[in-house]
Amino acid sequence: MSCSVEASVADLTDLNAFLLVARSKGFRQAARESGISSSALSDAVKRLEDELGVRLFNRTTRSVLLTDTGRLLLERTAPAFAEVASALDEVKSSRGRTSGELRLNVPMSAAKLVLPKIVPPFLAAYPDIRLEIVTDESFVDIIQSGCDAGIRYDERLEQDMVAVPIGPRQQRFALAASPDYLARRGTPQHPQDLLSHECILGRFSGRAIPPWEFERQGQDVVINPKGNLVVQFGGGTDLGIDAAIAGSGMIYIFEDWLRPHFDRGDLVPVMEDWWLRFPGPFLYYSGRRLVPAPLRAFIDFVRQTNKLPPKILLSGT
């Protein structure tokens, strides 16, 4: 019996190494994040592959990619390991102060506009919690990515998730340009006027450039502007703003992202009565698994800050 138990423990250790590499998408990155050497992780994954009789990763000198079998193993085992981690955190927290790790998957807009007002006081209230923020614009599955929760807007929320309001409950897209640009090209009065202007565009990785939507007094206008600069939302947003400040064109993004530049006069609000309003973001997490103690602490902190009840999202099936 003891030999069987020892073998099982060894298998779990190797399986954990596999999960670390799969989530980090590489042995070196997994080693940096876990503190386990690349060679030890590689040996563990090889043992697991030998034990299972299948290849879990396709390795090249430049990349480490999951095979179909590896992807299946990740999907089936990641939630189970998350449950174990949650249970351990729960036991640790029962001894006194809440402790453990909390990993959040958030878009860059939330990292820049929402979390700065929440993270510092949260860490001050819970000094034994280690918080990791993963910025991502690809709308990954939070469980498979090894995260405890995520922040998304309503139309990006996954089914069967619990969603808690976080940050401002209403936001706007703001249209702006530099004083120099408006002096040269004139100020548009209607969204259709933008078709004759140079516009700085953005899109999510691998997706089409979205149209610009405007509304005023019940009238909706959707246009597909033209421009010679396209940036990727998130990492490229500040570049787009810098280009607008330099007079390269008009930009249409979150009002809060532009507000400091309005205050300094670098950019001028344009057609404010047409700016589109939309609901604020949500913190979301799985309702089908044990909530880790650090996540529970964060949820309670956010709810207390917002003074709002959670919103339950039900499956569409």
- pLDDT the model gives residue 2: 42
- pLDDT the model gives residue 188: 97
Q: Which residues contact 210 (CB under 8 A, 6 or more apart)?
A: 203
Buried b (16+ CB within 10 A) or exposed e, 196-206: ebbbbbbeeee
Q: Say if domain 170-279 classifies as CATH 3.50.50.60.
A: no
Domains 2-66 and 170-279 fall in the same CATH topology? no
For 200, half-sphere exposure in the C-beta direction (CA atoms, 13 angstrom radius) is 27
One digit per residue, the tens of pLDDT, for the chain of length 317 reads 444 444 454 477 888 888 888 888 888 888 877 778 888 888 888 888 888 888 898 887 677 888 988 888 888 887 777 777 666 666 655 555 788 899 999 989 899 999 999 999 999 999 999 999 998 877 667 766 778 999 988 756 666 778 889 988 889 999 999 999 999 999 999 999 999 999 999 998 878 999 999 999 999 999 999 999 999 988 899 999 999 999 999 999 999 999 999 999 999 999 999 999 998 999 988 876 678 889 999 999 998 887 654 444 434 43
For domain 2-66, give the fold.
Answer: Arc Repressor Mutant, subunit A (1.10.10)
Residue 129 has φ and ψ, to the nearest 5°, of: -100, 130
- pLDDT the model gives residue 158: 64
- pLDDT the model gives residue 156: 61
- The amino acid that residue 5 corresponds to is V
Residue that is written with structure tokens 């085992």 in the block: 77
- pLDDT the model gives residue 317: 35
CA–CA distances in Å: residue 113 to residues 27, 99, 110, 281: 33, 26, 5, 11
Whether the CB-CB separation of 232 and 138 falls below 8 Å is answered with: no
Q: Measure the CA–CA gap between 287 and 309, rounded to whole angstroms.
A: 15
Domain boundaries, the chain: 2-66, 74-169+280-312, 170-279
pTM of the model: 0.65
DSSP state of 174: E
Taken in order 252, 255, 260, 266, the sign of the CA dihedral is positive
Residue 169 has φ and ψ, to the nearest 5°, of: -85, -10
Q: Pairing state of beta strands 129-135 and 100-106? A: parallel
Residue positions counted in the chain: 317
Q: Measure the CA–CA gap between 227 and 40, rounded to whole angstroms.
A: 50
Q: Measure the CA–CA gap between 6 and 12, rounded to whole angstroms.
A: 10
CA 274 vs. chain centroid, Å, equals 28
Q: Measure the CA–CA gap between 32 and 14, rounded to whole angstroms.
A: 17
Structural class in CATH, domain 74-169+280-312: alpha beta
Residue that is written with structure tokens 């979205």 in the block: 210
